[in-house]
């Protein structure tokens, strides 16, 4: 399935430009949230299939793609608030929230802050579900990394990595997509504003030891929300063990492990990705307004042991 990029639109929220792509006009709204150093084009191979029966919105998060790179708050909460405002501005009050990598953490934060707007949660190779993360991302949080990133972004190694990734992808090896997308992402860090946005975003969720933000101790609040985990079995950035652990802790969640995928299953296996996501949406009923339910769970859950810093 070839990659298709829909036209990008822009609007201004709170004085800052937000870019987004929209496709379809169906009754269900699918909000697609990309990961760090990525942008809305990462959904290009699955957008046409999703848009046949739904309205698809794929924004560029602040600091990414064609959205603004102002010196601002790049926390998960700030991203979630911007997405809430984007949805409302475009006339949508509820959505199925689909988050990839960092976008998974944003999706869970969105559900936590605005439960009345979240119909379903789909987490794709998501951050925020365990400590482990790739050594490259951990290294980028270290002091002085801002001095190294310009060299990395300008290095011929990126071109070589992208070419190797494309070659491996053409012969069906999943390493290709991870390597190619990592090279593409690091190439976006050539200018100072993009590097600053990347470092602010990354350091809000990752440190030298791994992921700082965990949803583990608050996921019970979303037990009434249909939740699907989609993961590449060969993810080289966030291990599939996080998906299995989350599924074991929350048996009501659904889990689809894509055997031929790495960190980007929507690119590695777009047909299978579409099959899993569309089937999940068709089979599940949207969650009801969660505020009343969440209050009951908060009261009942006061005795739960405190966990690590949480996104949800």
Residue from 60, 235, 242, 268 carrying the catalytic annotation:
235
Closest CA to 177 of 235, 128, 100, 105: 235
Q: Is 92 a catalytic residue?
A: no
Which residue, 130, 288, 280, is CA-closest to 223?
288
Tokens of 204: 């809000």
233: Cα separation from own chain's centroid: 17
Is 132:263 a contact under the CB 8 Å cutoff?
no
| Contacts of residue 261, Cβ cutoff 8 Å, sequence gap at least 6 | 174, 177, 231, 232, 233, 234, 235, 268, 269
Beta strands in 24-181 (DSSP E): 28-33, 54-59, 95-100, 118-124
134 given a catalytic annotation: no
Long-range contacts of 148-152 (CB under 8 A, 24+ apart): 149/186, 149/189, 149/195, 149/198, 149/199, 150/189, 150/190, 150/195, 152/186, 152/189
Is-catalytic flag, 191? no
Q: Which of 38, 67, 101, 134 is catalytic?
A: 101
Active site residues: 101, 235, 263
């Amino acid at each position: 399935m070839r990659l298709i990029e829909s036209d990008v639109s822009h609007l201004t929220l709170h004085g800052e430009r937000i870019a987004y792509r929209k496709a379809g006009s169906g009754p269900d709204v699918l909000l697609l949230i990309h990961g760090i150093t990525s942008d809305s084009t990462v959904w290009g191979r699955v957008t046409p299939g999703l848009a046949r029966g739904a309205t698809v919105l794929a924004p560029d998060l602040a600091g990414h793609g064609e959205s603004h790179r102002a010196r601002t708050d790049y926390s998960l909460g700030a991203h979630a608030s911007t997405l809430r405002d984007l949805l409302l501005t475009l006339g949508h009050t509820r959505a199925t929230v689909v988050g990839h990598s960092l976008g998974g953490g944003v999706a869970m934060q969105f559900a936590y802050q605005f439960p009345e707007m979240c119909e379903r949660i789909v987490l794709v190779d998501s951050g925020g579900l365990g400590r482990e993360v790739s050594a490259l991302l951990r290294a980028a949080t270290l002091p002085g990394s801002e001095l190294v990133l310009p060299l990395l972004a300008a290095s011929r190694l990126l071109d070589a990595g992208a070419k190797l990734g494309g070659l491996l992808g053409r012969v069906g090896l999943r390493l290709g997509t991870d390597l190619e997308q990592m090279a593409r992402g690091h190439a976006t860090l050539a200018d100072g504003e993009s590097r600053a946005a990347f470092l602010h975003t990354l350091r809000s969720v990752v440190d030298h030891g791994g992921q700082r933000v965990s949803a583990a101790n608050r996921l019970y609040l979303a037990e009434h929300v249909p939740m699907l985990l989609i993961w590449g079995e060969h993810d080289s950035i966030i291990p599939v063990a996080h998906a299995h652990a989350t599924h074991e802790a929350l048996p009501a969640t659904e889990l689809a492990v894509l055997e031929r995928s790495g960190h980007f299953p929507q690119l590695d296996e777009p047909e299978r990705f579409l099959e899993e996501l569309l089937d999940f949406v068709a089979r599940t009923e949207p969650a009801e307004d969660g505020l009343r339910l969440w209050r009951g769970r908060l009261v009942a859950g006061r005795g739960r042991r405190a966990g690590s810093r949480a996104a949800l």
